[in-house]
Structure 1
Amino acid sequence: MEATFDALLTQMEQQGFAVMDEFIDRASVAKLREHAQRAMADRAFHPAGIGQGQHHHTNHTIRNDQVLWLTPDTLAVWCPTLHHHIDHLTGWLNQSCYAGINQSEFHLAHYAPGAYYKRHLDRFANNNERRFTVIVYLNDQWCEADGGQLVVYGHAGHHSIQPEAGRLVFFPSDKLEHEVLPAKRPRWSFTGWLKTVRIPQSCCSTNY
């Protein structure tokens, strides 16, 4: 797996992002999608927002997808293969690149037909904790006519990426602008952010 991660990093350095097919197997894709569809039927998804904290709000002129936030424990139950691969990637980044990643956050996203997300960065203007974005797609037999492509704006212009089942897209959260084009059928994806969170020194500590 380390050789695969080396190749991802080389891709990212050359073009600003990396893509890898079959990051998780088809059975894992199907299992996670089934959990997502069941949660959607149970109305566990909510309209996605933009901004953070007191600035968080919905703006359907920018994005109109729905999301379900996951804890790492939930991801480990719903898709242990994906949880393992992300843990492995995080450890490799910390060992090989001294990334200092110590937290992560995850959600599932559902784009109904016609839904989109306009061009944006994944890092908040007033918060630099997000270091890397990890996207994995959950859509079987997706073709170009279905729309819903991820458009990324890398070093050599823009690139269109099909949201095909098991495909990984990996990039720095603060550098790569990207958008999701409207789809013609339901579109499912997993997104994770690998973060460096400053842990405050305990107020009870004593200096000698």
Structure 2
Amino acid sequence: MSAPSASGEAAAVDSRPALEALVERLADEGFAMADDIVPAELVSALAAELEGHIAAGRLAVAGVGRDEAFRRDGEIRRAAIRWMDGGTEAEQRLLVLAEELRLLINRRLFLGLFDFECNTIAYPVGGFYGRHLDRLHGAKNRVVSFVTYLDADWGEADGGALRLWRSPDDQGEPAATVLPKAGRVVLMLSEEIPHEVLPAHRPRHAIAGWWRINGA
């Protein structure tokens, strides 16, 4: 998905130091988290659009893998998704933010990120996603992952936390546990950082995206 240019009034000039700090942590740790990256009014607009898609039955049961390897497995993942196409003002604004992050990541990590794809995700009560890597089998097609959350007033009792480990070989305690707070953004290296979504005790809504390299 091609994003609008991160320039002019569309670029969130005041947010640039926060985005730079987020990318710096990504470079240092392989993952990073920061609050209030997505403005509250944009979160509300995206959440309202997702609720409309849910009500209209536009989401599909999420699976794992792609193409011949794609499968729906309720033992691994229980959620529904809708791929974003940039067809609304709110989606376009999110893509502008993603483009600004892409440029900063390329400048700091020299990854050559080119394309961005993302979807909205709705986890029902009890929804989860078992431990996994975001790379798809057999190709270097996802390099950096992006997640942001849409639910207000999320607390520990609501479950649905994101847990991250530092490497595929790390079988110990998670390096980080992240509550899905509205406007919070998480970045991670798609091929290196295993993660899982714990069961949610209330409906949980998010946007997940991935930057790819050219030709991947």
Distance 1:27 1:4 in 2: 18
Q: Give structure 2 stretches of 5+ with no counterpart.
A: 1-14
Identity of aligned residues (%): 28
TM normalised by structure 1 equals 0.88
User: Cα distance, 1:6 vs. partner?
Assistant: 3.3
Q: Which residue of 1 aligns with 2:101?
A: 89
Distance 1:120 1:15 in 2: 18
> Does residue 36 of structure 2 align to residue 22 of structure 1?
yes
Matches within 5 A, 1:119-134: 119-134=131-146
> Does residue 180 of structure 2 align to residue 166 of structure 1?
no
Distance 2:128 2:107 in 1: 36
> Does residue 77 of structure 2 align to residue 60 of structure 1?
no
Matches within 5 A, 1:1-208: 1-71=15-85, 73-74=86-87, 77-154=89-166, 157-158=173-174, 159-198=176-215
User: Cα distance, 1:104 vs. partner?
Assistant: 1.1
User: Runs of 4 or more off by more than 4 Å in structure 1?
Assistant: none
Kept after mapping to 2: 8 A contact 1:24/1:81: no
Q: Which residue of 2 aligns with 1:204?
A: none
TM normalised by structure 2 equals 0.85
SS at match of 2:77: coil
Q: Which amino acid aligns with 1:12?
A: L
Q: Give structure 1 stretches of 5+ with no counterpart.
A: 200-208
Instruction: Give the CA RMSD over aligned residues.
Output: 1.7
Q: Which range is displaced more, 99-108 or 77-86?
A: 77-86
Distance 1:59 1:115 in 2: 12
User: Cα distance, 1:59 vs. partner?
Assistant: 0.4
SS at match of 1:79: helix
User: Cα distance, 1:95 vs. partner?
Assistant: 3.2
User: Cα distance, 1:2 vs. partner?
Assistant: 4.4
1:33-68 CA distance string (max 9 Å, x none): 000000011110010011111111100000011000
Distance 1:104 1:144 in 2: 31
Kept after mapping to 2: 8 A contact 1:52/1:124: yes
Kept after mapping to 2: 8 A contact 1:121/1:175: yes
Kept after mapping to 2: 8 A contact 1:28/1:79: no
SS at match of 2:148: strand
User: Cα distance, 1:157 vs. partner?
Assistant: 4.5
Q: Which amino acid aligns with 1:191?
A: A
